[in-house]
Structure formats: structure tokens, C-alpha cells
């Protein structure tokens, strides 16, 4: 495949970044929206925009969604510009921030916004910002993960700033509420919709940008993820086929897990298909299969070659993640891994894996073994998060028959007047992913 | 569906009887609820056909619209409904008790305590099914913007005097019913399904007859069979033996019985209008009355079984002891009732058609908080609900096997005892996860320290070491009874027992640019929905 001939990913990404920064610093609009596909350098962009705004002498507030995201941004800012005075506004709970922040001399931490006035950049979560009262709003704000922020959370903080840069990934999980919000469906300010939906409904003239290159996803994965989840806003991978390689020192023992590992190392994708069966959510066989694949990944002495380093880097536990749909499934996988002595591997649900990156991911398919397909399991963003966390390879563990299950359960969510219908719908995206995975299928009867 | 409810449903299938899903009643039930069993006409959303309504199970009031297309008759029905519902509601408005409420002082901006009235009790409306709640909401919306001749002499179809007020109250009931755990307006099927698990799907549970057939089947009949009979059995004329709880009616009833009766009524009306002298008119009036009586009998025949079923449901629910926290939630219902009473008295306009951005966000936040509160309170009130949470890894119960005294570091060491709990549950505890137990009705927090797995205890149990962190008093030594002792049974939850209030949102006049700015002043009151060519009925 030489489809990327004539396409310089670095230049394309730089052009997009320049346009975004220009609109942010010199534009006339109150807001700028940036859509970023998985691994397209969103955090890098946020850090760079923050530094340029600070350089321009504009007091800046940064709104992120979780404390982990806030701490991560603070560390990145300090790495890039150790002299910059940064404020970390935190809650008054015990252990409100990452201890790593204590080692940064120019980062001031406080639970009171008043203690942080005058600092170039102040960073906190949306939930904490909602409690802040100011007489004079900040000149500028950056709202990170804006597609995962709920409209009502933006309502609570939007009075704090004059202008803002909204950055996020439209393909990931939508924000959710634990009670129904159908009553407001179709209203431009539906409180359970995403912040960007509301923002654009009221301010359609705002400039919208898109980062065109995923630096995380390998050339084998970008087309699938782009076609299945971003059909109208395609993106490319920053690296080409052959730029990344995954190799194992120990040869395959011919078992299903080993064969699927080899398939994934070769092609970037692997589908370990267990016999069709209706199972409880924590399907013991599938959970054990996931754990076995992880154990074999570690035992076979994997090494990952990529543009990041000159030589191959060993594939260690911290470079592997397991993704599931439900928390009890994650807990079951963790227990199974503990039995196999593999404890340092990240195991979490799609919601918690958002924004994270690994070399190899092992995914328990959300529809595996289910007798029905609910809106939760069909949600586009869930599958998108699970299949776009890896730099080298993704192995999906699934029971056979999901294709038929999808055909039995077409999306039946009522269409509400006035709401923006999201494309593609989860049903279609699931089919698209399944069709591609079928090319890398390894049937296995444990 | 949670594992425990799946289990309960399977048990219901094998035993042929619904299984308890709760050991206490999680909703407040009034001593004198107002039951409303409405029916609508097929073809037009919210066109009432009739209703049984009242507080006396032996003497319901029957209201009927003999010709649902006639808007005057419809108004007459709504006026009659207002005459039943409003006196019932207003009876609760006057008995008040003194209460305190936190309010923001407009001048200083400080939170101050204000002495206010709180209604000592509140009305409670009970409809058979969830569709009944939707109809209450729809009726509320169709009535609250109507104008009476007093309000607006020019209005083309003036509403009877009390109808707009009824619309406002029904809207309030309908809106309150969206708040999890509230009890101002209840659907009997929802409340029963909360307390019993049947051997049918949750969709089928919305059929009141089938649901009761599982919970309390006739002697010697399995629930499944009784439910099937309730759903499908028909008499010789093809009519359902157990009419649907409504508000929609069975098409066989509409076509075979109702439509001919309405036709006879129409004919009688036409002939009466064409009567040429008094004698003839007298005869024809008698015919019209007979035709109307026939329709009334039909409506009563379809609503009475549902009426009786609702009261039977109430009997079953009253056998359960009330949950301790249900009363606390009812107090919030009383606040809600008092608040709307005050808005009506103050002459405020009816609730707007659409919420503004700030109101919508506030309502969503309240409902999420109430949902979380309800989930926690139901578990704390009810060991069976707690068992479900334990099975889901969200709580654990066990025996204290060891208590080691320890202290926090710092200038003034505080007690931080380490408590070891032995449990057969498998909670999903993350590193340093917070857990809570109820101590005299207040949550005491502890921190998860470490666990010893079943492979080391050898009998399938796990040992969990927890560090108690609060509610032990101010002294160096913990207050008596504040730390569990060896041998005590304890139950900790991974979820919090009390909900924190969210941040205050801006006032509607301060709505930011991202949400369209301030909504602006409403210069003219909202008009009722205009009549359109689509309104064929």
C-alpha cells in the first residue's frame, strides 16, 4: 500500500495546528472548536495553545474533565516550560492531586481560586470550576475533552471566561446521565447533550478545525477506525506500513492465543473467536481467554519497534491494556490475571481507558455472549475507544455469532425531533468493525 | 438487569409466583390516596373517554364523555374532573407546620435560615400504569394555557373556571413523577414491579392484570397461567375478561361495543335536535339519556376491574412495613407540593411549555442526585436490596475478626483503627477505595488498606483490612461504640450514603453565550395550542 505517497503527515498536522492557533490567538470569534481523532496530538495542541496564550499575556483557565487529566496537563506544561507559573486548583478532599506535582517548583496548588490569582495558567476540573466565583472573567479558556463534557457542566463554568478553545474527540463515548433526559431532547441546550453540541447549536458560526493525522494508531488501524467511526471526517496515520513492527522471541506453540497473537503482530488486528454461547456478563471462558492472551504476550518476549526509538523496545506489562464494557468484567479479568501472575497490566472499562495509549490492547467484545444488544452495548463511542488505544496491535476476544445478534437487534432508539442524528450509528459501526476483524479470525475452542 | 433480579425472576418462573424484590415498602403511601383510572379515545392523543376517580374504593365517581369529538362535552368532563381533584388537592394546602429553609439573602448574599410554612401532608395521585402518568402530563399541558372567560373575555373557546388550575396541578404532579423516589404521582405497575419480581419480562409487567396475577394468583393456578389469562382471555362476545389498565382501550371493545353505542348516542342527539314539539322532545330526550347511560355503563365496565386492581395493589403494598427513608423522601414531596401551592397563590403564570437552559440543568441535577440517593437509601433500608448490591460487588457484609488501634501522623494524632472484616462477598475494591457503613444513621467512612484472598484463608472467605477515618469524636481515643469490635457483624458499601449538592448554576438572566444567552422576558402569556386542520376529532 502506497496510498500515503505524496502525503506528508507532519506537514498536514502542522498546517492544521497553525490554523487553530491563529484562530485562537487572532480570530474574532468567541470560540474555536477542534475535533481530534484518537491519538492525533490533542494534548500536545492543548499544551502548545496554553503556552502561546500565556506568552501573549492573556490570563488562561483550563477546564479538563477528570483530576487525572488535569494532573497530566500540569505535568506536560511544566515539562515544556518549567518557568511558567501554573496554578492547580483542586478539591478539598484527601489526596486531591497527583503527588508528582509537589516536585514542580512553579506549580502552585490550592483549593481556593483566590490563592491562584495572577498566575499565567490555572487548571482544574469542570466540577471544581463550577464552584468558583469571579468578579472579572478570564480572558481565555481552554476546554479539554469537550465532547465528554455535559452541556450542563459547561453552563456552570461558561460565565468564567470570555473566549474559549474547545478540544475533543467526537468519536469517543458521549457523556451520560443516570436519569432520563428525553424531556429535553431536541432543545438546543439539552442539559444531557455534549457541551460542543450545545455550543454549536447556539453559535453555528464558530470556526471548526480538525486534526488530520493520528500519531498513535498504526497504518493498519487508522483506515478501519476512520472508516467505521469517522466516515465523514477521515484521518490518516502518521506512520506508514513497515514503520512499526511487533516481534516475539518465543515462537508460537500452536494454541489459539498464540496464533491470534501472531496474526495481530503481523496485521495489527486479531480476533480470537470462541464457540457461540449465551453467557453471563463475566463469561468465565472468555475472561480466561483474555487473561491467557495477556499472559502469552508477556511470556513470549515481545519487542515493539517504532519511530519513537532506534531499537526494539520490550513489550512489558505497562504497555499492555485490557478493555471491557462493564466494571464487573474488568474485575473478573483482573482476578484471572492475578491468578496467572500478571498484575501490572491495566484492566479497565472503555470509559476509563479514554485518552490512554498502549502498545497492545486486548479487548473483550462488548457483545460477546450476549443474548441481546442494548443501546449501551451498541454505543459507537464504546467500541471506538476500545479499538483505538493501541500503537501496534489490538486483539479482540469474542464469542461467535455477534453478526447474527446484530442482525436480530437493529437500532430501535426513537428518533427525537430536533436532535442531531449521529453517524454512523453503533449498529453500523459494529458491523463495519466485525467485517474487518473477520479477516483476522482465529477460531479457538478452549 | 442485575444478577439478583435475574435470579428472582428465574425463581418466580419455577415457583409460579412472583418473588419479593424488597422486604420493606420503598414508596410512601398516603392514607387517603386519590385513585384515577382514565380512558382515552383511540385516534387522538389525550382525548378523554372517561375516568373512574375518587378516594373511596367502594364509591368511585364515574366521569364519561359520551361523544369524545364534542369539545364542549370534553370541557364538561374536565370541569367535573377539576371538581373532584382540586378539592382533594386543596384540602392539603391549609394544614401547615412551621419549618426552616436555607435561603440566600438578596442583600448580603449570605445563606440564612428563613422560617417558612410546610404542608403537613400532601395529596397523592395513583394511576394504574406508566401510560397513565403520561396522560396526566398531557392533560396538564392541554389545560394549563387555556383561558377562562374571566381571564380573557375575547377567547373563542373559554375554558370552565377551574380547568386551567387543574392543568397546572396535573402538570406539577406529572413533572414531580419524573423525580426518582418521589410519590406525589405513582403508577401502580411501577410500584408493584419495584417490590416483586415476576416470571415475565419488564414490558409485560406493565400490564397491571398480568402483574397482579403473578404476585397474587388465584388459589391453585400458577402465575404464568394466570397472567396469560389476564392478558388474553376473552368472553363469548370477543371481549377481554381483564380489560387493559388503559388509558388506551382494546380495539375489539372500540369496534364492537363503543363505536355502535356512540353512534346510537349521536343519532339520538340528532333526532332530539329535530324534534318538533315538546312531547316528541321528551320522548327523544329519554332516548338520548338511555344512549348516554349505555356509554356510561360501557366505560364503567372497562374501568371498574382496573379500579379494583389498583386497590388490590394498594392492599398488597400496605402489608409491607414502610422503609425508614421513604418518609424522608415524602417530606421532599411535601416541600414540592408546598412550593407549587405558593406559586399558585402568588399568581405566577402556568409552567412554561419548555424549560429554559438553567431550569433544565437544575432539574437534571436534582434528579440525578435523587436517583443516587434513592439507590443508596433503598439498600440501607432493605437487606434484600443490599444483598443485590453485595452480589454486584458494590457492598460487603461480614464479621469483624480483628481491631488494631492506630493513629494518624501529625501534631495531634487522631485515632485511625485498622479493622479486619471477614466476608464471603467479593467487593470490587480499588486501591485505597473509600467504603461507608451506617453508624446511627450517619455514614462512617473507612479506607481499604489490603486484602487476603481466599487462597490464603482456605475457606472461600476474604479478609479485608479497613482503616476507619471519621465519626470517632474529637479526642485521642475513639468515642465508645464508634469503632466496630471483634465479633461484630458489619456491612460496608462502596457507594456514598449521602449526596453532595452540586454547584450553583447561574440565574436564568445570566445564561452564558454558549447556551444562547438570557432567555429574555416573556411579554405575553403563552397561548394554548391552536386548533389545526390535523385535529380531526
What are the pLDDT digits (tens) for B386-404? Answer: 999 999 889 999 999 999 9
**Looking at beta carbons, which residues of chain B come within 8 Å of A327?**
393, 428
**Chain B residue with Cα closest to A162:** B513
More confident residue, B341 or B473: B341
Query: Of B233, B371, B401, B245, which is closest to residue B308 (Cα–Cα)?
Result: B245
More confident residue, A418 or B424: B424
Query: For A230-244, how does the pLDDT look when each residue is reduced to its tens digit (9 = 90+)?
Result: 988 899 999 998 899
User: Do the bridges between strand B34-40 and strand A320-324 make them parallel or antiparallel, or are there none, so unpaired?
Assistant: unpaired
Beta-carbon separation of B355 and A156 below 8 A: no
Beta-carbon separation of A155 and B514 below 8 A: yes
**Looking at beta carbons, which residues of chain B come within 8 Å of A155?**
357-358, 361, 505-506, 511-512, 514-515
Kindly report the nearest CA distance between residue A190 and chain B, in angstroms: 7
Inter-chain contacts counted by CB atoms under 8 A, chains A and B: 91
In chain A, ranges of CATH 3.40.50.300 domains: 9-212, 221-443
DSSP assignments along A272-301, one per residue: EEEPP----TT-HHHHHHHHHHHHHHHHTT
Beta-carbon separation of A192 and B364 below 8 A: yes
Kindly report the nearest CA distance between residue A194 and chain B, in angstroms: 12
Q: Using 50, 70 and 90 to split pLDDT, how confident is the model at B121?
A: very high
Which of B178, B358, B371 is nearest residue A155 as measured by Cβ atoms? B358
Best mutation target, B514, B518, B519, to test chain A (most A CBs within 10 A):
B514
B183 touches chain A (CB under 8 A): no
Kindly report the nearest CA distance between residue A270 and chain B, in angstroms: 30
Beta-carbon separation of A328 and B392 below 8 A: yes
CA A307 to CA A314: how far, in whole Å?
A: 14
Query: For B140-195, how does the pLDDT look when each residue is reduced to its tens digit (9 = 90+)?
Result: 999 999 888 888 888 777 888 899 999 999 999 999 999 999 999 999 999 999 99
Predicted confidence (pLDDT) at residue B532 exceeds the cutoff of 80: no
What pLDDT score does B502 carry?
79
Torsion sign (Cα): B240, B244, B245, B251 = negative
Interface confidence (ipTM) of the complex: 0.89
What pLDDT score does B109 carry?
72
CA B265 to CA B295: how far, in whole Å?
A: 8
Which of B180, B357, B393 is nearest residue A155 as measured by Cβ atoms? B357
Beta-carbon separation of B516 and A189 below 8 A: yes
**Chain A residue with Cα closest to B179:** A179
Best mutation target, A134, A143, A150, A155, to test chain B (most B CBs within 10 A):
A155
Best mutation target, A96, A189, A282, A348, to test chain B (most B CBs within 10 A):
A189
What pLDDT score does B501 carry?
78
For A18-136, list the strands marked E by DSSP: 31-35, 60-64, 86-89, 107-110, 121-125
- Give Cα separations from B45 to A428, B131, B139, B186 (angstroms): 34, 12, 10, 21
Beta-carbon separation of A177 and B368 below 8 A: yes
Q: Using 50, 70 and 90 to split pLDDT, how confident is the model at B45?
A: confident
Query: For A108-122, how does the pLDDT look when each residue is reduced to its tens digit (9 = 90+)?
Result: 999 999 999 889 999
Beta carbons of B424 and B460 less than 8 angstroms apart: yes
Average pLDDT value for residue range B512-522: 83
CA A113 to CA A118: how far, in whole Å?
A: 10
| CATH class for the region spanning A221-443 | alpha beta
**Fold assignment, A9-212:** Rossmann fold (3.40.50)
Q: Using 50, 70 and 90 to split pLDDT, how confident is the model at A5?
A: low
Diameter of chain B measured on Cα atoms: 104
CA B493 to CA B388: how far, in whole Å?
A: 12
Which of A156, A179, A190 is nearest residue B371 as measured by Cβ atoms? A179
Kindly report the nearest CA distance between residue A153 and chain B, in angstroms: 9
What pLDDT score does B521 carry?
62
B102 touches chain A (CB under 8 A): no
What pLDDT score does B441 carry?
86
Q: Which residues of A lie inside 8 Å of B (Cβ-Cβ)?
A: 30-31, 95, 127, 130-131, 151-152, 154-156, 158-159, 177-181, 183-184, 187-192, 195, 198-199, 202-203, 280, 327-328, 331
What pLDDT score does B161 carry?
84
**Looking at beta carbons, which residues of chain A come within 8 Å of B368?**
177-179
CATH of B393-493, one of 3.40.140, 3.40.1350, 1.10.10, 2.40.30: 2.40.30
Beta-carbon separation of B514 and A181 below 8 A: no
Which of B180, B428, B516 is nearest residue A188 as measured by Cβ atoms? B516
Which of B506, B510, B515 is nearest residue A198 as measured by Cβ atoms? B515
**Looking at beta carbons, which residues of chain A come within 8 Å of B3?**
280
The three-class DSSP label of residue A209 is strand
Name the helix (H) or strand (E) containing B44: none
**Looking at beta carbons, which residues of chain A come within 8 Å of B361?**
151-152, 155-156, 189, 191
Kindly report the nearest CA distance between residue B450 and chain A, in angstroms: 15
C-alpha cell at A236: 490518516
Query: For B67-96, how does the pLDDT look when each residue is reduced to its tens digit (9 = 90+)?
Result: 998 888 999 999 999 999 999 999 999 999
Beta-carbon separation of B355 and A184 below 8 A: yes
**Looking at beta carbons, which residues of chain B come within 8 Å of A199?**
514
- Give Cα separations from A379 to A175, A221, A234, A376, B516 (angstroms): 12, 20, 20, 5, 29
Residue A425 neighbours by CB under 8 Å, 6+ apart: A378, A380, A411
User: Do the bridges between strand A107-110 and strand B111-119 make them parallel or antiparallel, or are there none, so unpaired?
Assistant: unpaired
Vertex A426: Cα angle to A425 and A432 (nearest 5): 95
What pLDDT score does A1 carry?
38
A63 DSSP β-pair partners: A124, A143
Predicted confidence (pLDDT) at residue A199 exceeds the cutoff of 70: yes
What pLDDT score does B139 carry?
94
B368 touches chain A (CB under 8 A): yes
CA B258 to CA B148: how far, in whole Å?
A: 32
Beta carbons of B463 and B452 less than 8 angstroms apart: yes
CA B81 to CA B90: how far, in whole Å?
A: 14
Q: Using 50, 70 and 90 to split pLDDT, how confident is the model at B535?
A: low
Name the helix (H) or strand (E) containing B247: none
B180 touches chain A (CB under 8 A): yes
Residue A309 DSSP one-character state: S
Q: In this structure, which long-range contacts are made by residues B447-456, counting pairs with CB atoms below 8 Å and at least 24 apart in sequence?
A: B449/B418
Average pLDDT value for residue range A380-403: 94
**Looking at beta carbons, which residues of chain B come within 8 Å of A127?**
503
What pLDDT score does A3 carry?
46
C-alpha cell at B17: 409466583
**Looking at beta carbons, which residues of chain B come within 8 Å of A31?**
514
Beta-carbon separation of A30 and B513 below 8 A: yes
Structure pTM? 0.90
What pLDDT score does B476 carry?
84
Which of A177, A202, A331 is nearest residue B515 as measured by Cβ atoms? A202
What pLDDT score does A2 carry?
40
Which of B354, B393, B512 is nearest residue A155 as measured by Cβ atoms? B512
**Looking at beta carbons, which residues of chain A come within 8 Å of B505?**
152, 155-156
Q: Residue ranges per domain, chain B?
A: 3-251+299-376, 393-493
**Chain A residue with Cα closest to B366:** A179
Q: Using 50, 70 and 90 to split pLDDT, how confident is the model at A6?
A: low
Average pLDDT value for residue range B210-234: 94
**Looking at beta carbons, which residues of chain A come within 8 Å of B360?**
152, 183-184, 187, 189-191
Would you call B344 exposed, middle or buried from its count of C-beta atoms within 10 A (0-12, 13-18, 19+)? middle
CA A260 to CA A251: how far, in whole Å?
A: 13
Which of A130, A154, A187 is nearest residue B360 as measured by Cβ atoms? A187
**Looking at beta carbons, which residues of chain A come within 8 Å of B517?**
202
CA A442 to CA A366: how far, in whole Å?
A: 18
Amino acid at each position: 500500500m502506497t496510498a500515503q505517497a505524496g502525503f506528508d503527515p507532519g506537514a498536514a498536522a502542522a498546517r492544521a495546528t497553525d490554523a487553530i492557533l491563529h484562530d485562537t490567538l487572532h480570530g474574532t470569534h468567541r470560540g474555536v472548536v477542534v475535533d481530534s481523532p484518537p491519538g492525533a496530538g490533542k494534548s500536545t495542541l492543548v499544551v502548545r495553545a496554553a503556552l502561546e496564550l500565556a506568552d501573549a499575556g492573556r490570563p488562561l483557565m483550563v477546564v479538563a474533565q477528570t483530576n487525572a487529566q488535569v494532573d497530566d496537563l500540569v505535568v506536560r506544561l511544566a515539562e515544556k516550560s518549567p518557568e511558567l507559573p501554573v496554578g492547580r486548583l483542586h478539591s478539598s478532599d484527601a489526596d486531591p492531586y497527583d503527588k508528582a506535582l509537589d516536585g514542580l517548583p512553579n506549580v502552585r496548588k490550592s483549593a481556593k481560586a483566590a490563592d491562584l490569582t495572577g498566575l499565567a495558567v490555572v487548571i482544574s476540573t469542570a466540577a471544581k470550576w463550577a464552584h468558583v466565583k469571579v468578579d472579572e472573567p478570564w480572558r481565555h479558556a481552554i476546554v479539554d475533552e469537550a465532547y465528554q463534557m455535559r452541556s450542563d457542566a459547561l453552563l456552570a463554568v461558561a460565565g468564567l471566561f470570555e473566549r474559549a478553545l474547545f478540544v475533543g474527540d467526537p468519536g469517543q463515548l458521549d457523556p451520560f446521565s443516570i436519569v432520563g433526559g428525553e424531556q429535553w431532547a431536541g432543545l438546543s441546550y439539552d442539559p444531557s447533550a455534549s457541551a460542543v453540541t450545545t455550543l454549536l447549536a447556539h453559535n453555528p458560526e464558530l470556526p471548526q478545525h480538525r486534526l488530520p493525522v493520528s500519531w498513535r494508531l498504526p497504518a493498519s488501524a487508522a483506515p478501519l477506525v476512520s472508516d467505521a467511526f469517522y466516515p465523514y471526517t477521515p484521518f490518516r496515520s502518521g506512520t506508514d506500513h513497515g514503520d512499526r513492527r511487533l516481534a516475539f522471541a518465543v515462537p508460537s506453540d500452536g494454541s489459539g492465543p498464540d496464533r491470534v497473537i501472531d496474526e495481530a503482530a503481523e496485521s495489527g488486528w486479531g480476533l480470537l473467536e470462541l464457540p457461540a454461547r449465551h453467557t453471563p456478563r463475566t463469561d468465565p471462558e472468555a475472561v480466561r481467554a483474555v487473561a491467557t492472551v495477556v499472559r502469552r504476550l508477556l511470556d513470549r518476549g515481545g519487542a515493539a519497534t517504532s519511530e519513537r526509538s532506534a531499537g526494539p523496545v520490550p513489550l512489558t506489562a505497562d504497555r499492555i491494556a485490557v478493555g471491557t464494557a462493564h466494571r464487573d468484567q474488568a474485575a473478573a479479568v483482573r482476578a484471572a490475571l492475578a491468578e496467572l501472575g500478571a498484575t501490572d497490566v491495566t484492566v479497565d472499562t472503555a470509559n476509563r481507558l479514554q485518552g490512554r495509549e498502549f502498545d497492545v490492547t486486548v479487548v473483550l467484545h462488548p457483545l460477546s455472549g450476549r443474548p441481546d444488544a442494548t443501546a449501551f452495548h451498541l454505543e459507537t463511542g464504546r467500541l471506538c475507544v476500545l479499538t483505538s488505544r493501541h500503537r501496534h496491535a489490538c486483539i479482540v476476544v469474542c464469542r461467535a455469532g455477534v453478526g447474527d445478534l446484530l442482525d436480530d437487534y437493529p437500532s430501535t432508539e426513537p428518533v427525537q425531533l430536533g436532535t442531531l442524528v449521529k453517524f454512523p450509528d453503533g449498529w453500523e459501526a459494529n458491523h463495519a468493525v466485525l467485517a474487518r476483524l473477520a479477516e483476522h479470525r482465529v477460531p479457538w475452542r478452549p | 438487569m442485575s444478577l439478583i433480579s435475574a435470579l428472582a425472576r428465574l425463581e418466580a418462573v419455577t415457583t409460579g409466583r412472583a418473588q419479593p424484590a424488597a422486604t420493606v415498602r420503598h414508596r410512601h403511601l398516603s392514607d387517603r390516596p386519590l385513585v384515577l383510572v382514565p380512558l382515552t379515545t383511540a385516534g387522538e392523543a389525550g382525548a378523554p373517554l372517561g375516568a373512574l376517580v375518587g378516594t373511596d374504593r367502594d364509591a368511585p365517581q364515574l366521569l364519561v364523555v359520551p361523544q369524545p369529538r364534542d369539545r364542549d362535552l370534553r370541557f364538561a368532563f374536565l370541569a367535573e374532573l377539576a371538581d373532584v381533584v382540586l378539592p382533594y388537592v386543596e384540602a392539603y394546602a391549609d394544614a401547615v407546620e412551621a419549618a426552616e429553609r436555607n435561603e440566600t439573602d438578596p442583600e448580603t448574599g449570605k445563606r440564612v435560615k428563613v422560617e417558612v410554612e410546610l404542608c403537613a401532608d400532601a395529596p397523592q395521585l395513583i394511576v394504574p400504569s406508566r401510560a397513565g402518568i403520561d396522560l396526566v402530563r398531557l392533560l396538564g399541558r392541554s389545560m394549563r394555557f387555556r383561558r377562562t372567560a374571566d381571564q380573557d373575555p375575547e377567547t373563542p373557546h373559554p375554558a370552565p373556571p377551574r380547568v386551567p388550575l387543574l392543568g397546572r396541578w396535573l402538570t406539577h404532579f406529572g413533572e414531580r413523577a419524573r423525580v426518582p423516589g418521589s410519590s406525589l404521582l405513582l403508577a401502580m405497575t411501577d410500584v408493584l414491579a419495584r417490590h416483586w419480581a415476576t416470571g415475565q419480562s419488564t414490558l409485560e409487567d406493565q400490564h397491571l392484570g398480568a402483574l397482579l396475577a403473578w404476585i397474587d394468583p388465584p388459589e391453585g393456578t400458577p402465575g404464568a397461567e394466570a397472567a396469560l389469562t389476564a392478558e388474553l382471555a376473552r368472553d363469548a362476545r370477543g371481549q377481554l375478561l381483564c380489560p387493559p389498565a388503559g388509558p388506551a382501550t382494546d380495539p375489539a371493545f372500540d369496534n364492537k361495543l363503543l363505536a355502535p353505542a356512540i353512534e346510537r348516542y349521536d343519532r339520538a342527539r340528532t333526532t332530539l335536535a329535530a324534534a318538533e314539539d315538546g312531547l316528541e322532545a321528551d320522548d327523544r330526550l329519554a332516548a338520548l339519556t338511555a344512549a348516554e347511560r349505555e356509554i356510561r355503563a360501557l366505560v364503567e365496565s372497562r374501568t371498574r376491574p382496573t379500579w379494583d386492581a389498583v386497590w388490590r395493589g394498594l392492599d398488597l403494598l400496605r402489608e409491607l412495613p414502610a422503609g425508614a427513608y421513604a418518609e424522608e423522601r415524602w417530606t421532599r414531596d411535601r416541600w414540592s407540593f408546598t412550593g407549587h401551592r405558593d406559586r399558585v397563590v402568588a399568581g405566577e403564570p402556568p409552567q412554561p411549555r419548555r424549560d429554559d437552559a438553567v431550569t433544565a440543568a437544575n432539574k437534571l441535577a436534582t434528579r440525578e442526585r435523587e436517583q443516587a440517593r434513592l439507590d443508596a437509601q433503598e439498600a440501607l433500608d432493605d437487606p434484600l436490596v443490599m444483598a443485590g448490591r453485595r452480589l454486584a460487588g458494590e457492598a460487603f457484609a461480614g464479621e469483624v475478626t480483628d481491631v488494631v488501634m492506630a493513629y494518624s501522623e501529625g501534631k495531634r494524632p487522631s485515632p485511625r483503627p485498622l479493622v479486619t472484616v471477614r466476608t464471603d462477598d467479593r467487593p470490587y475494591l480499588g486501591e485505597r477505595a473509600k467504603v461507608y457503613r451506617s453508624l446511627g444513621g450517619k455514614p462512617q467512612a473507612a479506607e481499604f488498606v489490603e486484602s487476603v484472598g481466599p487462597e490464603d484463608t482456605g475457606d472461600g472467605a476474604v479478609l479485608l483490612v479497613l482503616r476507619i477515618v471519621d465519626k470517632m469524636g474529637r479526642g485521642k481515643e475513639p468515642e465508645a461504640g464508634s469503632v466496630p469490635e471483634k465479633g461484630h457483624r458489619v456491612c460496608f458499601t462502596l457507594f456514598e450514603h449521602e449526596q453532595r449538592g452540586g454547584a450553583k448554576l447561574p440565574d436564568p438572566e445570566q445564561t452564558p453565550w454558549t447556551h444562547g444567552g438570557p432567555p429574555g422576558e416573556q411579554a405575553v402569556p403563552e397561548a394554548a395550542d391552536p386548533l389545526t386542520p390535523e385535529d380531526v376529532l
